[in-house]
Amino acid sequence: MFRFADPTYLYLLIILPFIAAFYIYSNYRRKRNIRKFGDPELLAKLMPEVSKYRPNVKFWLTFAALTLTIFLLARPQFGSKLETVKRKGVEVVIALDISNSMLAQDVTPSRLDKSKKLISKLVDEFDNDKVGLIVFAGDAFTQLPITSDYVSAKMFLESISPALITTQGTAIGKAIDVAMRSFTPQEGVGRAIVIITDGENHEGGAVEAAQEAAKKAFIEAGGAPEAFQPEADETEAEFKSLMTVIKEKRNAILAEQEKQKEENLAIKLSIIDKLKELVAHPEDANKAYNDFKKLQQQWNEIKLVPAANASELWKSYQVYVEKFYDIIKLNNEFREYDFKKNLEIKTRLCEAAEKLADEQDVVSAFHQLQKLHQEFRDTGPVAKELRDEIWNRFKTASTNVNRRHQQHFEELKESEQRNLDAKTVICEIVEAIDYKNSNSTKIILLDSSIDARRPGLRLGYYPQNAC
Sheet strands (E) in 83-237: 91-97, 130-136, 140-147, 191-196
Task: Identify whether residues 107 and 183 lie together within a single domain.
Answer: yes
Does 171 map to a domain? Answer: yes
Does 236 map to a domain? Answer: no
Task: Identify whether residues 219 and 263 lie together within a single domain.
Answer: no
**pLDDT for res 33:** 75
Does 85 map to a domain? Answer: no
Of 362, 391, 407, the last residue of a domain is 407
Task: Identify whether residues 315 and 174 lie together within a single domain.
Answer: no
Over its C-alpha atoms, the chain yields an Rg (Å, rounded) of 36
d(Cα 299, Cα 265) in Å, to the nearest integer? 10
Strand partners, 97: 136
Does 158 map to a domain? Answer: yes
C-alpha neighbours within 13 Å on the C-beta side of residue 179: 32
Strand partners, 192: 92
55: enclosing H helix or E strand: helix 54-73
Sheet holding 191-196, edge to edge: 140-147, 130-136, 91-97, 191-196
**Of residues 141, 143, 202, 131, the one with CA closest to residue 175:** 141
State the angle between helix axes of 54-73 and 15-37 in degrees (0 to 180), rounded to the nearest 10: 170
d(Cα 467, Cα 124) in Å, to the nearest integer? 32
State the sign of the Cα–Cα–Cα–Cα dihedral 428, 429, 432, 438. negative
Instruction: Assess contact for 322 and 338: CB atoms under 8 A.
Output: no
- The reply to whether omega before 109 is within 30° of 0 (cis) is yes
Task: Identify whether residues 257 and 346 lie together within a single domain.
Answer: yes
* Size of the chain in residues: 467
Q: Is residue 341 classed as helix, strand or coil in its secondary structure?
A: helix
Task: Identify whether residues 184 and 268 lie together within a single domain.
Answer: no
**pLDDT for res 454:** 47
**pLDDT for res 38:** 64
Q: Which residues of 424-458 are buried (b: 16+ CB within 10 A; e: fewer)?
A: eebeeeeeeeeeeeeeeeeeeebeeebeeeeeeee
The total of structural domains in the chain comes to: 4
Task: Identify whether residues 265 and 388 lie together within a single domain.
Answer: yes
Of 25, 50, 78, the last residue of a domain is 78
Does 45 map to a domain? Answer: yes
Range of the domain at 440: 409-466
Instruction: Assess contact for 448 and 401: CB atoms under 8 A.
Output: no
Task: Identify whether residues 152 and 52 lie together within a single domain.
Answer: no
Does 74 map to a domain? Answer: yes
Task: Identify whether residues 205 and 278 lie together within a single domain.
Answer: no
d(Cα 3, Cα 75) in Å, to the nearest integer? 8
How many whole angstroms from its chain centre is CA 199?
25
Task: Identify whether residues 259 and 349 lie together within a single domain.
Answer: yes
CATH code where residue 225 lies: 3.40.50.410
Mark residue 127 as left, alpha or beta (left: phi above 0; alpha: psi -120 to 50; beta: remaining).
beta
How many whole angstroms from its chain centre is CA 28?
64
Residues of the chain with pLDDT under 50: 330, 440-459, 461-462, 466-467
**Of residues 199, 204, 160, the one with CA closest to residue 361:** 160
Q: How close are the terminal C-alpha atoms of the chain, in Å?
A: 48
Task: Identify whether residues 65 and 212 lie together within a single domain.
Answer: no
Of 78, 99, 116, the last residue of a domain is 78
**pLDDT for res 450:** 46
**Of residues 290, 312, 314, 292, the one with CA closest to residue 302:** 314
Does 237 map to a domain? Answer: no
Strand partners, 193: 93
Task: Identify whether residues 64 and 182 lie together within a single domain.
Answer: no
Q: 96-141, pLDDT tens digit by residue?
A: 988 888 888 888 888 889 999 999 998 888 888 889 998 888 888 8
Task: Identify whether residues 263 and 397 lie together within a single domain.
Answer: yes
**pLDDT for res 253:** 92
- Predicted model pTM: 0.34
Does 13 map to a domain? Answer: yes
**pLDDT for res 224:** 64
Q: Is residue 232 classed as helix, strand or coil in its secondary structure?
A: coil
SS3 content of the chain, % helix, strand, coil (to 5): 65, 5, 25
Q: Is residue 195 classed as helix, strand or coil in its secondary structure?
A: strand
d(Cα 422, Cα 466) in Å, to the nearest integer? 13
**pLDDT for res 8:** 87
d(Cα 459, Cα 445) in Å, to the nearest integer? 18
